[in-house]
Amino acid sequence: KQLIIINGPNLNLLGKREPEIYGSKTFEDFLKTLRSKFSGINIDYYQSNIEGELIDKLQEIGFSYDGIVLNAAAYTHTSVGIGDTVKAITTPVVEVHISNTFSREEFRHQSYISPHAKGVILGFGLLSYDLAVESLIL
């Protein structure tokens, strides 16, 4: 199976960004552990702070990969464009968030991704990504 994790803006700062919310591990460290846990599966990784680059990547892999784990970060709450792309592609998308966005500010309760996602996993810290991978390989 061929999966990809796509992370949106500011997630390149994991480890040093608001560690009380997002934890103190870098994503690169986490990814090593995740890849060895799911060693039979190819897990690509892409991160961008730029909305159009996230759309380009989704379009590029969204008709051939077996699954996408997408944390669009702040664009989740603002991007009609990324929502439209998730709707347009055929590869199933699992939306993830590290934090429980519903226990936070009102503006984080809205998602343009959720209506088009296969499912949503949020609030379990980085474990949310493990659960998303699990759900895509069943």
Label residue 69 exposed, middle or buried (CB < 10 Å: 0-12, 13-18, 19+): buried
Annotated binding site for substrate: 71, 77, 84, 98-99, 108
Q: Please give the structure tokens belonging to residue 133.
A: 């991978």
Residues that bind ligand DQA (CB under 6 A): 10, 71, 73-74, 76, 97-99, 101, 108
97 is an active site residue: yes
Active-site residue identified among 22, 65, 112, 129: 22
Least distance in Å: CB of 18 to ligand DQA?
9
Indicate if the alpha-carbon torsion angle 7, 27, 24, 50 is positive or negative. Answer: negative
Least distance in Å: CB of 123 to ligand DQA?
8
Q: How far apart are CA 15 and CA 56, in angstroms?
A: 27
Nearer to ligand DQA, 99 or 114 (CB): 99
**Catalytic positions, written as ranges:** 22, 97
